[in-house]
Structure 1
Amino acid sequence: MRLATWIAALVVFAPLTALAQHFDGAKAYEYTREFAAIGPRWVTGQGHTKAENLLRARFQHDPVEEDTFMADTPIGPVNLRNFIVRYPGKKQGVIVLATHYETNYPLRNINFVGANDGAATTGLLMAIGDKLRAQTAGGRQLDGYSVWLVFFDGEEAFQSWSQSDSTYGSRHLAAKWGRDGTLGKIKAFILTDMIGDKDLDIQRESNSTAWLVDLVKQSAHKFGYDRYFFQNEEPVEDDHLPFVKRGVPSIDIIDLDYGPNNSYHHTAQDTLDKVSARSLTIDGDVILETIRLLDQK
């Protein structure tokens, strides 16, 4: 690394020591770029098929389940597909990290690529997957709980947001895991959404489990990231709610302050230039530290 680049890195992460090891936000950003480059990924479109294929390719050497199901939507029955990638741990129990990967169906005609809304957190979880893959190579196990990455389909509405027209993938999976006993194994469900924003401002989501919110806050404080987390509070309807309603400790890590007065959200302005590797580094640092703290509980 050239001296100027090294100095710039210290300036960006001024609260940290020079020897601190950070999550690779640059790699997460590159995965985000690759995913957003697919273009719109609305369900039933060609971009959605390309997104599925990219997820298959990225996790081809991992234990991955394709959870397919038929959803009853305002446009008729639609085939949807969640992806679940499992990394085994030594402790009994599971930590779930989740995102959605598709884009909004009603916006299919405006070139809505969802760089922040879907692509950024998909890229984030892909990069986290790289770390988990390395830690479990050769049949090894994570020192703590198993970690599962979940890429939800059908988070977005097909017509207009309502309890029945939204969160299709998470509602399906929460019900499925409720029937087969998996929900009882989940120690924490961590949802990520819209947190690649250059101007990172993660709200305290009031439907989330209080102790898990506090754990994330503690993780952010460790790195001096306090100003990026929980300065404001509001309820958000998102993919965590089907798990909250079933008693699973859950948190939605989300930044709904996207652009002036949230003006980039669900518009053609949600493009890669609004996303930053620095924000993804902050996200990864905090999520991995939260996993470490959960493993100690």
Structure 2
Amino acid sequence: MLLAYRNVSVIVSLCLGLLMLTSVQAYEKLSDETLSALPRPNSDFNIHNGALLSPILQTRVPGTPGSTAVLNHFADFFRTTLPKWKIEVQNSTSKTPMSKKEVPFKNFIATRDPPWAQIGDVERLTLVAHYDSKIEPKGFIGGIDSAAPCAMIMHAVRSIDAALDKKWTALQQQGLNDFLDGEHGIQVIFLDGEEAFKEWTATDSLYGARALATHWDDQFYPAMSEFKTPLSSISLFVLLDLLGATNPTILSYYETTHWAYQSLGELEKRFKSLKQFKTSSSSPWFVDTEKDVHNLTPSGGIQDDHIPFLAKGVEILHLIDFAPFKGFPSVWHTIDDDGEHLDMDTVEDWSMVVTAFAAEWLELEGYFDQPKAATARRDEEYAASEAIRLNKKTEL
């Protein structure tokens, strides 16, 4: 990503144009019991041998063996751990200022939709991070940028998959899936080529994001589908970048997704009140939760993978550690941005927040395995509330 103030008016105009397109959504919050019982990554985030994070902590410049190794890590993870997900790789090539030959860029996409859903009829929560690393300085790893965000997303989708399966199975068994007011799935995108090869420009940056946004904008679903293109089926594009440093500051940039930002802020507060965070700072991460939507931070200064999607009308929630008058984390784009300089308590806490946010978005309360004592206390109350909720969804 790049902090820049060129073309601010163009981007702001695009953002304002989106305000008329989306209405605020609502979803069921997770209970305190569910929040407290969500799976934790534990040793999977160990920077030396953790199953999720350590394979990403290597140089992974597009078109190099390191990039291929990380791409294979993603594919192996979904094939072995989440076999019901559909995975694909979107390929493109482009010349860069550092090469006269075409450089390959490979975007990794994993999707899980309701088993009864037809193509083009599913809107998806989309969790996004880039997996490439900078070519300079030599040996750059990119722990916060963005190995750790990739691992956070992997942990989140693994943590909710069984609950998602349980929910969809229950709806089918009860014959309720035919009466739902919409189909909701989830999608993961690990983008290639976010970093500039030489100097950040409109053409030397965001290689993978630009290619995928264009490809999906030109790819049409069947004529009678609910959604026209894969882009229009994205209900929310949640981009994670520069996450993993201590005491992050996350601003809210877009009026139409401020409610989702506030939901994340509420989850942070609840995790802290339940003493489920490993970090101990009382300073909030989501500093704009109390702001009115008309007083948010202007978004035009931060160039990142969301820009090509924003330009095509996709709803964006940009989760990036950036503080006014301070800037990005101190290790940003330096050789110190490696595994050793990650704050692992912060990384784990981020993974829990992302997990909970995805679980609430997909309305998975009641579908997680709970400790027996908590389950016994809540069985009757949950059965009644679930019947009311599903009944409302079946009403015309």
Alignment check: 8 A CA contact 1:87 1:148 kept: yes
- The answer to whether the aligner puts 1:40 opposite 2:59 as a matched pair is yes
Shift in Å, 1:126: 1.8
- Correspondence for 1:68: 91
Cα deviation digits, residues 17-73 of structure 1 (max 9, x gap): 89822441425523222321xx21112322112212222222223421011111242
Pick from 158, 162, 165: which aligns with 1:134? 162
- Correspondence for 1:88: 113
Which has more strand, going by share of residues? 1
One-letter code of the match for 2:108? F
- The answer to whether the aligner puts 1:248 opposite 2:310 as a matched pair is no
Q: Please, what is the CA RMSD of the aligned residues?
A: 3.2
Shift in Å, 1:201: 1.0
Cα deviation digits, residues 114-169 of structure 1 (max 9, x gap): 12212101111221232244346699569872111110000101111122211111
One-letter code of the match for 1:43? P
- Correspondence for 2:149: 121
One-letter code of the match for 1:169? G
- Correspondence for 2:132: 102
Cα deviation digits, residues 73-106 of structure 1 (max 9, x gap): 2234211100001122378311100111110123
Higher relative contact order (CA 8 A, sep 6+): 2
- Correspondence for 2:201: 162
One-letter code of the match for 2:67? H
TM-score if structure 2 supplies the norm length? 0.62
- Correspondence for 1:7: none
Q: Equivalents in 1 of 2:44, 2:201: separation in Å?
A: 31
One-letter code of the match for 1:249? E
- Correspondence for 1:9: none
Q: Equivalents in 2 of 1:179, 1:102: separation in Å?
A: 25
Q: Equivalents in 1 of 2:205, 2:336: separation in Å?
A: 22
- The answer to whether the aligner puts 1:289 opposite 2:365 as a matched pair is no
- The answer to whether the aligner puts 1:52 opposite 2:71 as a matched pair is yes
- The answer to whether the aligner puts 1:78 opposite 2:103 as a matched pair is yes
- Correspondence for 1:172: 211
Q: Equivalents in 2 of 1:19, 1:289: separation in Å?
A: 7
Shift in Å, 1:234: 6.5
TM-score if structure 1 supplies the norm length? 0.80
Q: Which runs of 5 or more structure 1 residues have no equivalent in the other structure?
A: 1-15
Alignment check: 8 A CA contact 2:107 2:192 kept: yes
Q: Equivalents in 1 of 2:75, 2:305: separation in Å?
A: 22
- Greater Cα offset, 134-143 or 58-67: 134-143
Q: Equivalents in 2 of 1:118, 1:147: separation in Å?
A: 20
One-letter code of the match for 1:84? I
- The answer to whether the aligner puts 1:276 opposite 2:332 as a matched pair is no
- Greater Cα offset, 176-185 or 286-295: 286-295
SS state at 1:182 partner: coil
Q: Equivalents in 2 of 1:105, 1:234: separation in Å?
A: 30
SS state at 1:227 partner: coil
- Correspondence for 1:231: 287
